[in-house]
Structures are given as structure tokens and as C-alpha cells.
Structure 1
Amino acid sequence: MRGSRLGKWVIAAGMAALAIATIYPMLFTANVAMKTRREYIFDRFSLSSALRWDNISTAWESGGMARYFVNSLIVVTGAVALLLLIGSMAGFAMSHLRFRGSRALFLGCLAALFVPFQVIMVPLARTMADTGLIDTYPGLILAYVAQFLPFTIYLMTSYYSRIPSEIVDAARIDGNSPYGVYRRIMLPMGRPALLSVGVLNALFCWNDVLIALLMTPSPERRTLMVGVTSLRGQYTSDIPLFASGVLIAAVPVLVIYLFLQRQIADGVTAGSMKG
């Protein structure tokens, strides 16, 4: 009994230390964003003397964060919509429609998960440049779809494989075409997986820097994360202003984690469970 209590206390202490290590950087960044440059130079670890929103408003307006925020919304929304549409269709086809090469195609998507973006970024950039898609919203959206589609197909295929084939057969007997089965059966039943995968893909696209930096070199098309890195170079001596940009970029991600943490956990484990 005493050993089990000790084990629980050890686990609780470890989880508390992990929580502090996760929360402290955000609190430190928020505190720095509230300071003046003078306060930060003299004592960067002390608490801010007052709640100041000047740095945040300056980063939002003068630093261009408002434009970068809109760019990220456009790109992430378009990429997630395409990923869910193509990924759900491919997942239904690979899990319930038997055709020649379906197994090899699924294994190919699975193998693509292990290919780092650095391996394909040069040919991808050349292809995008040849087609005139560099520094455009569609080009960045298609780059995100190409990068995260194997992950989406894998999870959707794994989830749809848990749906009994008898349901699909009954729908086909009722006169539904494959598209009708997908629209009337698979989409409603796959809603939990679609939500989980959509949240994960939104976080991946929102937090990306490398792909966005490669595909959108001009300031007018920068995403929020790329804008934060450029803010660091533009205001090297004004760390509170840079911290304000980091805070603006982190708040949407934090809100998603707070309200959709169950869906994020379900999305992470969706591919590891099979009924």
C-alpha cells in the first residue's frame, strides 16, 4: 500500500515538473511582452511593473503581424479543407474498395511518412517555380497538401478500416454508388476522425516555418510563423516587441489545445487502434 502511494507521488511530481516546464516559457514570454525595453535590459527575469499592451499593438500593426495572421488563416484553411477531402476519399477507397494495387498504394503512403521534407524541398521548389506557383497562396497550400497528405490518408484508412464492411455492402445493395456510400455513410461515420485529423493538420500547417519560408519569399505572402522570425531580425534590440509577436502566434495554438485536446489525443491514437 505504501509502495503504491509512493509510486503515485513520484508520477504526480513528474507530471507537475513537466507541466511547469511547459507553462513557464509561455508565462515568461507574456511577462517580457508587457515590459518596456529599459525594464528588460535592466532585469529580464523580474515581473513587469504594469500590464502594457503597447508592444502587442505595435507588433500587430507596425510589425505586420495582422497581415501575416490573415495569410496563415487563408493558407491553413485551404490546406486543411483539401487534406480532409482527399484524405477521406482515399481512406475510404483503400479500406473498403478493392482494386488492383490498393495494398501497394497504401504501403507507398505509409512509406512517404518517413521521407523528410528536406529530401524533396529542392525538386518541389523547382516544380513550383516552373509552374508559377512560388509566392502564391495556391502554391503554399499545395505544398502543405503534398507534405501532410500521407499522414492524413494513413489515419483515415486506419479509422475507416474499423467500420464493418457489411455496412458498405448494405448501402451498395440499396443502390448507392461508391460516391453515394462515401457521402451518405462514410462522411457522417468518420466525423470524429475528420475532426481529429483536421485539428492536427491545422497545427502542423500553422506552426510550419520551413515550407512557408521556401514557398513564400516575399513579405506580402508570409505566414505568421515566418513573420515572427523576420520580426526577430528586424527588431533585434527590442526583445519585448519580439516576445509580443511570439505571443500573438502562440495564442491560437494554445486555444486549440485547450478546447480540442480530446480530439488531438484521439487523432494521435486513431491509427494505432483497429477493431
Structure 2
Amino acid sequence: MRRSGFGRWVVAIPMCLLALATIYPMVFTLNVAMKSRREYVLDRFSLADHLTAANIADAWNSSGLGRYTFNSVLVTAGSVALLLLLGSMAGYAFSQLTFRGRRWLFLVCLGALMIPFQVIMVPFFRVLGQIHLLDTHVGLILAYTGQFLPFTIFLMTSFYSRIPAEIVEAARVDGSTTLGVYRRIMLPLGRPALLSVGILNALFCWNDVLISLLVMQSEQHRTLMVGVTALRGQYSDNIPLFAGGVLVAALPVIAIYLFFQRQITDGVTAGSTKG
């Protein structure tokens, strides 16, 4: 019993420290956003004297965060929809269909997971420029799709591999085509995985700075994370306003984590087991 209690403390203490290290920056940012510029200059670590959302409102109204948020929502929604469509189709093909080169194609997808974006950044930029998709929402959607599609295919293939082949064979005996099996069998059964993968991809797209900064070159097409990053230089003498912009960008992500914790965990661990 004593050993068991000691073991729990050994695990609990590092986890508590990790939780504090994660929560403290968010609390600090919230506290700074509630301060006036004068309060921050006098003592940045003290508690705010008055709780006010003036800095958040100013960041939203005077810094174009509303337009940046619209761009982020549009690009994230389009990217996630395209990723789920292509990823679920490819996952169905790799897990349930038999065709020449299936294993090699899947290995290519797995290999693409290991290639960092920085390696292909220059040729990627040149190709987008040649097809006139730089500084367009479509270009950024296609960029996110290409970057996160291997991850989506891997998780959907892992999930669909757990579906008994007898279900697919029974649907084919009933006269369903390959597309019919995908639409009537695989999509309904794959809803949990689609939800988990969709949430993860939404977080990836929403939090991205590098790809968006590379593709969206004009200010009016910036995504929210790039816009918030630009606030650091624009309002270097007004840190509370900058903290308000950071809160605007972080609140949707925090809300998604709070409401979809189980789905995110399922998505992260989806590829770790099979059968």
C-alpha cells in the first residue's frame, strides 16, 4: 500500500508542475490584458486593479482582428472539409480495397509525415507562384491540405482497418458499388474518427503561422495567428493591447480543447493500436 501511494505521488507531482507551467502563461496573459498601459509599466506581475475588456475590444476594432478571424475561419473550414473527404476516401482504399501498389503508396504517405515543411518550402512557394495561387484563400487551403493529408490518411486507415471485412463484403453482395460502400458503410461507421481527425486538423490549421505567412502576403488576407504575431511589432509599446489580441486568438483553441478533450485524445491515440 505504501509503495502504491508513493508511486501515485511520483506521478502526481510532475503532472501538477506540468499543469501549472501550462496554465500560468494563460493566466498571466489574461491578467496583463486586463491592465492599462500605465499599470503594466509600473508592475507587470501585479494583479490588475480593475477588470476591463478595453484592451480586447481595442485589439479587435483597431487592429483588423475581425477580418483576420474571418480569413482563419474560412481557410480552416475549407481545409478541414477537403482533408476529411480525401483522407476518408484514401483510408477506405488503403484499408479495405485490394489494388496493385497499395502497400507502397501507403508507405509513401507515411514517409511524407517525416518531411518537415521547411525542406519543401522554397519549391512549394515557386509552384504556388507559377499557378497564381499566392495570396489567395484557395492557395492556402490547398497548402494545408497537402501538408496535413498524410496525417489524416494514416489515422483514417488505422481506424478503417478495425472494421471487419465481412461488413464490406455483405454490402457488396447486396449490390453496393465501391462508392456506395464508402457512402453507406464507411462514412457512418467512421464518424468518431472523422470528428477526432477534423478537430485535430482544425487546430493545426488555426494555429499555423509559417505556411500562412508564406502564402498570404497581403495584410487583408492574413490569418488570425499571423495578424496577432504582427501586433507584437505594431504595438510594442502597448503590451496589454497585444495580450488582448493573443487572448482573442487563443480563446477558440481553448474552447475546442475543453469541449472535445475525449475526441482529441482518441484522435492522437488512433494510430497506436490496431485490431
Distance in 2, Cα, partners of 1:273 & 1:8: 26
| Counterpart for residue 206 of structure 2 | 206
Q: Which residue pairs with 1:52 in the alignment?
A: 52
Task: Please report how far the alpha carbon of residue 57 of structure 1 lies from its aligned counterpart in structure 2 after TM superposition.
Answer: 0.5
Give distance in 2, aligned partners of 1:48 and 1:218.
36
Confirm whether residue 73 of structure 1 aligns to residue 79 of structure 2: no
**Range 159-168 or range 80-89, more displaced:** 159-168
CA distance in structure 1 between the partners assigned to 2:14 and 2:90 by the alignment: 41
- The Cα of 1:15 is off from its aligned counterpart by 1.5
Q: What does residue 108 of structure 1 align with?
A: 108
RMSD: 0.6
Do residues 85 (structure 1) and 76 (structure 2) align? Answer: no
Q: Partner of 2:139 in structure 1?
A: 139
Q: Give the Cα–Cα distance (whole angstroms) in 2 for the partners of residues 125 and 169 of structure 1.
A: 45
Which consecutive residues of structure 1, in runs of 5 or more, have no partner in the other structure?
none
Structure 1 residue 159, shift from structure 2 partner: 0.6
Is 1:242 matched up with 2:242?
A: yes
In the aligned structure 1, how far is the partner of 2:128 from the partner of 2:136? 10
Show CA shifts across 1:241-263 (max 9, x none): 11111111000000000000100
Once the two structures are TM-superposed, the CA of residue 272 in structure 1 deviates from its matched residue by 1.1
Residue 56 of structure 2: SS of its match in structure 1?
helix
Note the alpha carbon deviations across 1:112-141, whole angstroms, 9 max, x for none: 000000011111111111111000000000
Post-superposition offset of 1:13: 1.7
Q: Secondary structure at the match of 2:76?
A: helix
The SS at the match of 2:237 is coil
Name which of structure 1's ranges 5-14 and 229-238 shifts more when overlaid on structure 2: 5-14
2:251 paired with 1:251:
yes
**Residue type of the alignment partner of 2:40:** Y
Partner of 2:217: 217
Q: Distance in 2 between matches of 1:130 and 1:10?
A: 57
User: SS state of the match for residue 98, structure 1?
Assistant: coil
Q: 2 CA distance for matches of 1:75 and 1:138? A: 8
Give percent identity, aligned residues only.
68
Q: Which residue number in structure 2 is paired with residue 155 of structure 1?
A: 155
Distance in 2, Cα, partners of 1:97 & 1:12: 46
Alignment gaps of 5+ in structure 2: none
CA offset at residue 10 of structure 1? 2.4
Q: Deviations over 1:219-249 (max 9, x none)?
A: 1110000001111111111100111111110
Q: CA deviation at 1:7?
A: 1.6
Farther-moved stretch of structure 1 (39-48 vs 10-19):
10-19
Corresponding letter in the other structure for 1:40: Y
Which secondary structure state, in structure 1, belongs to the residue aligned with residue 163 of structure 2?
coil
> Post-superposition shift, 1:144?
0.1
The alignment's TM-score, normalised by the length of structure 2, stands at 0.99
Distance in 2 (CA, whole Å) between partners of 1:162 and 1:272 is 12
Number of the residue aligned with 1:9: 9
Question: Cα offset for 1:2?
Answer: 1.2
Partner Cα distance (1:7, 1:274) in 2: 30
1:8, distance to aligned residue in structure 2 (A)? 1.2
Paired residue total: 275
Structure 2: distance between partners of 1:111 and 1:168: 29
- For residues 91 and 16 of structure 1, the distance between their equivalents in structure 2, rounded to whole angstroms, comes to 38
Partners of 1:184 and 1:7 lie apart in 2 by: 49
Secondary structure at the aligned position of 1:180 is classed as: helix
Cα deviation per residue 1:82-140 (whole Å; 9 max; x = unaligned)? 00000000000111110111110000000000000001111111111111100000000
Match of 2:177 in 1: 177
Cα deviation for residue 9 of structure 1 reads 1.9
In structure 1, what is the Cα distance between the partners aligned to 2:112 and 2:69? 30
Amino acid at match of 2:21: A
